[in-house]
Amino acid sequence: MLPRGGGCAAADAMPVTDAAEAFVRAGTRSAPVPFVPELRLHIADEALGLWSQMQRALVRGEAPLPFWAFPWAGGQALARYLLDHPEVVRGRTALDVGAGSGLVAIAAARAGAARVTANDIDVHARAAIGLNAALNTVSLDLEAGDLLDSDDGESMVLLVGDLCYEAPLATRVLGLLQRAHDRGATVLLGDLGRPHLPRAHLEAVASYDVPVIAGLEDAAVKRTTVWRVR
């Protein structure tokens, strides 16, 4: 169960500021990713405390929920898959949509992608992505726009981790996946089987038992699948 509310925040194209970076640093510490321990992220120290604080900020209309402060199950599974199958991205351009912490984009860069763009509409996510890329000594491009109804039209690999957590979002994600697939891109989605996942249009590539952040899901380990478009 991923807590609802705020995931579909309106796109904000604000540049990453020192204040946004300071906010990310203040709420997190560098730690290995449970299922991808060769990568480290700025992860919330006290997950539920930060989540509750940001829920209050969300109600005041100040900021969306801190999706960037945790490696979600779908992102962990997809990052694991890329590091174990680097041929999927090696030498190719990749786009991670709804990148959050940047975990999947960082894995793609580590796996040898020629260029990786990490996209998120939340400025704190983009701040976290920059900090996390530096932590893992990889270079990423940042994209702030909402690409769900378009696609960047050029990346050879389209990557999405855990972005089907609300119905309207899942519908838009499927459209994005299908457009990219139709133009010949390799398309991969990591998802633990959230209720709105458009399963009928997907087929499984790999599945893993992924440790997740206590309190944010309904179990400590979630069976999580890397999907491709059918």
Ligand X SMILES: C[S@@+](CC[C@H](N)C(=O)[O-])C[C@H]1O[C@@H](n2cnc3c(N)ncnc32)[C@H](O)[C@@H]1O
Residues that bind ligand X (CB under 6 A): 7-8, 67-68, 71-72, 74-75, 97-101, 103-104, 119-122, 125, 146, 148, 161-163, 165
For the beta sheet containing 141-143, the strands, ordered from the edge strand earlier in sequence to the opposite edge, are 141-143, 115-119, 93-97, 157-161, 186-191, 221-229, 202-211
> How near is the Cβ of 156 to ligand X at its closest, in Å?
19
Provide the minimum distance between the beta carbon of 200 and ligand X in the complex, in angstroms, as a whole number: 22
Choose between 98 and 198: whose C-beta lies nearer to ligand X.
98
Residue whose CB is less far from ligand X, 98 or 229: 98
CB of 98 to ligand X, least distance (A): 3
Question: Among residues 122 and 151, whose Cβ is nearest to ligand X?
Answer: 122
115-119 and 93-97 beta bridge pairing? parallel
Q: Which of 108, 217, 180, 35 is nearest to 118 (CA)?
A: 108
Question: Looking at beta carbons only, is 97 or 156 nearer to ligand X?
Answer: 97
Q: Where are the alpha helices (DSSP H) in 3-122?
A: 18-27, 47-59, 73-84, 103-110
Place of tokens 């793609």: 108
Distance CA 37, CA 206 (A): 19
Least separation in angstroms between residue 62's CB and ligand X is 15
